[in-house]
Structure 1
């Protein structure tokens, strides 16, 4: 690397031009390499995704056989969202679907009616506690939705308070509940030598690098982000 301070004006201009051209060449080379590497990355990722999809279908199919055998053996008819199977070695698989809380547009009418009711109460100690409890149960989550578990608590509260207006308002909320089925999932775990249950990662995000991998060499992490 030349010392710029020792160059004449002409030499300085030529050196700066050379460096700028080299930088442009590096940028072109970088973009070329990205275009060369990415298709390979994507092919491997898509292949992995397809394998996971096929595995998911296989496990659901075979688990249906186990579930039918279980129902026949124990004379039950399951209506659960999930099912779990465990063997004598401590291997466990849970599969099913998740449910998202969802409410139709009448939920706002119920909430408004509940709020009107609690604001009309006399402000003594007993009603003050009720107002606080109801406000806590009507709090929405980060996505702006009511939690179904809190509405159950609200229902119990209405039953205890035994007021027609309050009960009607809570019933409006309950009847507006329209849960939505979300993703089908599979969770697996094994039991290690110490008898501890250990989850088996099933996503590329949660799975760890192979033991002994030098992560710092792969992806340098600033010290403020280190665990």
Structure 2
């Protein structure tokens, strides 16, 4: 029968500290191994996911190019038929004969102007400021001049120029009209990206339903379709 080893309080404290340190190191090693396993899983899944997504992106671009190419002749014919060739139209919507399918092709633009815009602004500003004769008209003039304020890129907003055009026509003042005309002729928007919006009409409700063309939208579309089927 083996003799039981007795430890002093100091020895037991040292033993407990040793066990705690050993457990701490073992836990640290376990977590290190988990981090390595996590990193390896991420690497493996990325190596599979990214090529698939690159292929999907390429396929989307190919379809997008094909759709724009197929509609190029139709857009040209539309311009000839309706006289919109020089109208600066940046989106085109097409609906089939029974109004069940609809497609919009367009380009996003950023407002921009040639240097001559400054001459037009000066003319408009000069005319508007000449109207300020008292506190009441000063407030009105200030409100109108806000339409000439610039955006973050230093450009006028095209929508505000349209408001100025209406004001100029209502005023009948030649100088005001000429200034607005110069601003409009200086408009030189930059085309950024092409977009496609596809829709179909829900036969049950008659409402137009967007056909999802993005990953996020596809997920929502599948969920809605699933819920509708239940």
TM-score (norm 1): 0.72
Task: Please list the CA deviations of residues 110-157 of structure 1 after superposition, one character each: whole Å capped at 9, or x if unmatched.
Answer: 55675566556333423421321221x124445553211211222333
CA distance in 1, matches of 2:128, 2:51: 59
Distance 1:13 1:45, change over 3 A: same
* Residue number in structure 1 paired with 2:94: 85
Structure 2 residue corresponding to 1:156, chosen from 153, 166, 190 = 166
Task: Give me the CA root mean square deviation.
Answer: 3.3
Q: How does 1:54-65 map to 2 (within 5 A)?
A: 54-64=62-72
**What is the number of equivalent residue pairs in this alignment?**
203
**1:196 and 1:158 mapped to 2: Cα distance?**
40
Residue 144 of structure 2 is aligned with which of 111, 114, 133? 133
The 3 A distance-change label for structure 1 pair 60 and 169 is closer
183, 205, 208: which one aligns with 2:216: 205
Bigger helix share: 2
**Matches of 1:170 and 1:212 in 2, distance apart?**
49
Which whole-Å deviations, capped at 9, do the CAs of 1:17-50 have from their partners, x for residues lacking one? 1111111111111111111111211111111111
- C-alpha contact (below 8 Å) 2:129/2:141 kept by paired residues: no
* TM-score, structure 2 as length reference: 0.71
Unpaired runs of 5+ residues, structure 1, are: 1-6, 214-227
Shift of the 29–86 alpha-carbon distance from structure 1 to 2, 3 Å rule, reads same
* Cα displacement (A) at 1:212: 8.1
Alpha-carbon separation, structure 2, partners of 1:46 and 1:111: 47
The whole-number CA distance in structure 2 between the counterparts of 1:76 and 1:212 is 39
Aligned pair 1:184/2:194, yes or no?
Answer: yes
Q: Tell me if 1:45 matches 2:53.
A: yes
- Supply the distance in 2 between the matched residues of 1:76 and 1:169 (Cα, whole angstroms): 29
1:101 Cα offset (Å): 1.1
SS at match of 1:189: strand
- The Cα shift of 1:78 comes to 4.9
1:55 Cα shift?
Answer: 1.1
Q: 1:134·1:154 contact (CA, 8 Å) conserved in 2?
A: no
On the 8 A contact 1:106/1:172 being kept in 2, the answer is: yes
* Secondary structure of 1:205 counterpart: helix
